[in-house]
Amino acid sequence: MNFFAQRRAPQPERIPTDTVLPLPIWDDQQFRRAICLHVTFRFDDVLDTRALDLALCRLLEIGGWHRLGARLRMNDNGKLEYHVPAQYSAQRPGIHYTVAKHSLRINEHPLAHKFPRAAGQPALLNCGKDIMSLCLAPDCPQQLEDWIYSDRPQLDIHAVTFSDATLLSVTFLHSLMDGIGLASFLKAWTDVLKGQEQQVPIFQGVGDDPLGQLTERTPADKYVNSNLMLRGCGLLIFIIRYIFELIWYWNDRTHIICIPGHLVDELRTQALHEMADLKNEEHSTFLTEDDVLLAWWTKATIRALNPSRNRMVSLISMFNIRSVLLNGPLSENTAFITNTILTSFTFLRCHHILQQPLSVIASRTRSALSQQRTQPQIEALLAAQKVDLLKTGRPPLYGDSSCLMICCTNCHRCRFFDLDFSSAVISSSSTLSDRQKLSGRPTSVIPTYHLKEGFRLPNVGGIIGKDASGTWWLMWTLRKGAWPAIEQELNGLVNKTGSSDRQ
C-alpha cells in the first residue's frame, strides 16, 4: 500500500435521475485515458460569445445530442462509464463554457502575440504550449481525475476575445472521441448557429458501441499483419528497448511545422513523374498531397533520428472507418462522437527509406492503407484488438522486437480550416486579403495535449491540415536533439523542389 499517495475526495454521489452507460472497450483504453486534448482555433474575427453559448445549449436539446453532456465516472471494477443527466441547468450545464475578454488587439497582448502564424515559407514554430495559460480557462481539466472526481461535463470550451480576433479552445479526454468526432461536433454547432437545425446530424456515441458489430465477422488471423504481431519474448525485448530509449532520450520537444502549399504540390508532381517512370505494379500510382507530405516527413525524421540503417520502421497511419459503419443500417447523416480510428502499418527498413525516392515511400504507405482499410481487414484487426483489449487492456503491437515506431494522425480529413463560424462574426480583421481568408474561418488550428504523469508520446504527430492560403500545418513530438536536423530539412526543401523564386 502506498501511504504517500495523494488522496482525493470520493467521486460525486450518483444522481438517481442520471442514465448510466458503459464506455465501449475502444474508448476505454489506457492510452486514451492518459491523453487530454486541447484544440485551439484562431479567428481573425470577433465572434459573438453569447451566440456561441446559446447554440451550444440548443444543440444539446436536439435528439441524442443530449448525451454529449454526460459525466465521466469510474465504477467499482475500474471501468469507465457515462452518467447522463436527465436535464441541464446553470448549476449543472451540458458543456462547461467560459469567456475571457480583452480590449486590446491580439498582437498587443504579451502572450497572444506569440500565437503561431504561417510565414509564407517553410518554418519551424513553437507549438503554442507557452500560451496555453491564455487559451484555456484557469480551471481547465488536464487529466482523467479532473473529470471523474468532479461533476464537470465532457467538453470544456473557452473563448478568448480581443478587439480584432477570437481564440476558441475545445478540451476533452481522448476517451470521448477522435478528431473526426470533434469535427462532427463543431459542424453540428455551426449548423445551429446558422439556424439550420435540420442539417444537424443524428447523434451516435456516448454509450453506443458501433464497432462491436464488426468483431465477429472475420477471424483475427486473417489480418494481413497477423504474422508480425509482437508476442512473448519479442514483445518483452521491444518493451525493454522502448523504455531504454525513453530514458536515454528523455527530453522531447513538440513543434508546429508550416510548409507552403506550392512546395507540397511540386513534391507530389515530382513523385507522380517518378512513379510513371518506374511503372511498377507493386506500388500505388495514386498519391495525394497527404501521402507525399508524410513520405517527406518520414525521410526527414529518419535522417534526424539517425537509427541503425537496418532497423525496421513501423510507420503507423491512422484512418477513419466511419464509411464502413455507414455501409450498414446507419444513415449517412450520422455523427459518431466516439473513437472509430484504426491503424494502418507500413514496414520499411531505414536504409530503404533513405535510399529510395520519395515516390516509393509515398506509394508504399498508400498501398498499405488501401489494403488494410478494406472491410475484411478492418474486421480482422478489430477482432484481434478485442482479444488483447479484454486480456491486457491495450491493443496489439506489430513489427519486430527492435522496430522504430513513427505514428501519424491525418487531421486534414477533419477539414478544421473549413469550419464556418460566420454566423457568429461581429467584426472582421483586415490583416489578410479576401483571397487568403473567409470571414468566420479559422486562420490557425493548434492542437496541444496534457499527458498523464509518466506517459510519453515520442515520434508521434500528424498533419493538422491546409489553411485558406494553401499552407500545410503539421505538429510532431521528437527528441530535442532531432530538431536542428529537421530545421535543415525545411531549409533545404525550397532548393529540392526548385522553387526558390516562388512567392
| Secondary structure element (H or E) that encloses residue 58, with its range | helix 49-59
481 CA to centre of own chain: 24
Considering 174, 255, 283, 412, which one is annotated as catalytic? 174
Query: Can you tell me whether residue 37 is helix, strand or coil?
Result: strand
Asked if residue 18 lies in contact with residue 85, where contact means CB atoms within 8 angstroms, the answer is yes
Asked if residue 443 lies in contact with residue 471, where contact means CB atoms within 8 angstroms, the answer is no
Is residue 420 part of the annotated active site? The answer reads: yes
142: left (phi over 0), alpha (psi -120 to 50) or beta: alpha
Asked if residue 74 lies in contact with residue 11, where contact means CB atoms within 8 angstroms, the answer is yes
What grid cell was written down for 382?
Answer: 478489430
Nearest to 419 by CA among 445, 396, 451: 445
Is residue 174 part of the annotated active site? The answer reads: yes
Would you list the DSSP string of 232-268? HHHHHHHHHHHHHHHHHT--EEEEEEEE-HHHHHHHH
Considering 45, 156, 191, 420, which one is annotated as catalytic? 420
Asked if residue 429 lies in contact with residue 44, where contact means CB atoms within 8 angstroms, the answer is yes
Q: CA end-to-end span of the chain, whole Å? A: 64
8 CA to centre of own chain: 30
Question: Over the Cα atoms of the chain, what is R_g?
Answer: 23
Asked if residue 292 lies in contact with residue 469, where contact means CB atoms within 8 angstroms, the answer is no
Handedness of CA 373, 377, 383, 387 (dihedral sign): negative
Q: Which residue is associated with the grid cell 465532457?
A: 154
Q: How many CB atoms within 10 Å of residue 231?
A: 9
Which ranges in 60-173 belong to alpha helices (H)?
Answer: 132-135, 145-148
Handedness of CA 61, 200, 64, 320 (dihedral sign): negative
Measured between alpha carbons, how far is 172 from 147 in angstroms, rounded to an integer? 10
Asked if residue 81 lies in contact with residue 19, where contact means CB atoms within 8 angstroms, the answer is no
Q: How many CB atoms within 10 Å of residue 352?
A: 17
Residue 296 carries which DSSP code?
A: H
Nearest to 43 by CA among 495, 473, 426, 367: 426
- Pairing type for strands 166-173 and 80-84 reads unpaired
Residues whose CB is less than 8 angstroms from the CB of residue 195 and which lie 6 or more positions away in sequence, other chains included = 423
Query: Can you tell me whether residue 383 is helix, strand or coil?
Result: helix
Q: Which residues are catalytic?
A: 174, 420
